[in-house]
Amino acid sequence: MATTRGSPHGASLEKDYGHNGTFTPNYADTNRGLNTTPRLGTYNQDHSAINGNGHINGNAAANGNGYTKENDHTKENGFTNPSEYTNRKTSPSSSSRYHLGKDEPSDTTLDKIKTSGSITISPELFEKMYLSPQTPVKGDLRKTFGNPTPLALIGFLLSLSPLACILMGWRGSGGSGASDVGVYIYMGGMLMTLSGILEFFIGNTFPFVVFCSFGGFWLAFGTTLTPLYNAYGAFSPDPSNPAAGLKSDTFNASFAYFMVFMGLMSAVYLVCALRTNVIFVIIFLTLLLLFGFLGGTYFQLANGNTALAMKLEVAAGACGFVSVLAGWWIFLAQMLAALDFPFEIPIGDMSHIIPSASGKLKKSEEYTV
């Protein structure tokens, strides 16, 4: 038996409303943005009508007092006792009240109701927060968990900032940064690696690769300078004096290649950063120069040209200092965005300069259609 939901009486009406046996008045609660006005004067196949008060009559006309008179189709209209409906007066307040799941299926109603459970952010804001152009991913992990990007940035900055000052020899510092081994391992290495893994789970491939690779660099750099790992001690001519290995030509020439290929990795990231923002481009450009100068420093130490090696080391420190200045800027921008400040600082969005491959494909499909 076909029934129709939506009766102001809360009862089921069958076949009397419409050609297809259904009648769907536009009831709703104005608080939920739905139309609460019944369609007045609407007649169906069997001459049913809705009066001016929003009441429904089957095969009968309603009077002007809000009374609803039905005929003898008691069981047809879903009533078991004529006294329950004959000359029954329905209040306007109850007739306009919308019952979720009663007047209409719950899933249909929920589709009509706009909720505030999700928000849309601009591509510029997304790129500022995640340092990567926005890409579609499955799931809602980005809404469930916090943004891990600032964690990686602070680990990077607290490692490179003192190292840059040490490489420039400010206030008598030196020793290739061996004094901050713990910072490199636990701040740079652990925080960047942890953040990179979290970026992986929320679907941000570029930050995931960048953070994990630089986290690995800080772990490798810190452990190389740790005597326990005997990285330079193996090159010492005196086993009782492992520190002598730091001056070994073989050690310096070998360690230089690590810096060279870190520079190559930074060059790849620099190309990729052209689709992110100006600050990211500055960071990778200066990191490319930093690793290039450090590679030259170790090569010149291996050649015995200490004076040139010291100049290259200062140049590397200067490039690192510019890199961290840009890093502190983008870190501030991310924290302001995370706390929903009423203002923001620019980072020079570049995602629109080089069109995405998916965007080109979408346009080509539109032209084809």
Does residue 189 contact residue 222 with C-beta atoms inside 8 Å? yes
Q: What is the pTM of this model?
A: 0.61
Instruction: Return the pLDDT at 367.
Output: 55
CB 207 within 8 A of CB 132: yes
Q: Rounded distance, CA 109 to CA 36, Å?
A: 13
Report whether 317 contacts 160 (CB < 8 A): no
Find the Cα–Cα–Cα–Cα dihedral 318, 322, 327, 330, rounded to 10°. Answer: 170
Q: Determine the residue type at 217.
A: F
Q: How far is CA 253 from CA 25, 266, 298, 315, in A?
A: 83, 21, 6, 19
**235, 249 in Cβ contact below 8 A?**
no
What pLDDT, on a 0 to 100 scale, did the predictor assign at position 368?
Answer: 58
Rounded CA separation 308/214 (Å): 27
Q: What is the pLDDT along the chain (369 residues), one digit of tens a residue?
A: 444 444 444 444 443 444 444 444 444 444 444 444 444 444 444 444 444 444 444 444 444 444 444 444 444 444 444 444 444 444 444 445 545 445 555 555 545 544 444 444 445 544 445 455 555 555 565 566 778 899 999 999 999 999 999 999 999 888 888 889 999 999 999 999 999 999 998 888 899 999 999 999 999 999 999 888 888 888 888 888 888 888 888 999 999 999 999 999 999 999 999 988 999 999 999 999 999 999 999 999 999 899 999 999 999 999 999 999 999 999 999 899 888 888 888 888 887 888 777 666 666 655 555
HSE of 278 in the Cβ direction (CA atoms, 13 Å)?
A: 6
Question: 3-class DSSP state for residue 322?
Answer: helix
Dist CA 29 CA 22 (whole Å): 21
pLDDT for position 10: 43
Other C-beta atoms closer than 10 Å to the C-beta of 294 total 26
CA 68 to chain centre: 56
Most distant CA atoms of the chain, gap in Å: 113
Q: 30: exposed, middle or buried (C-beta count within 10 Å: 0-12, 13-18, 19+)?
A: exposed
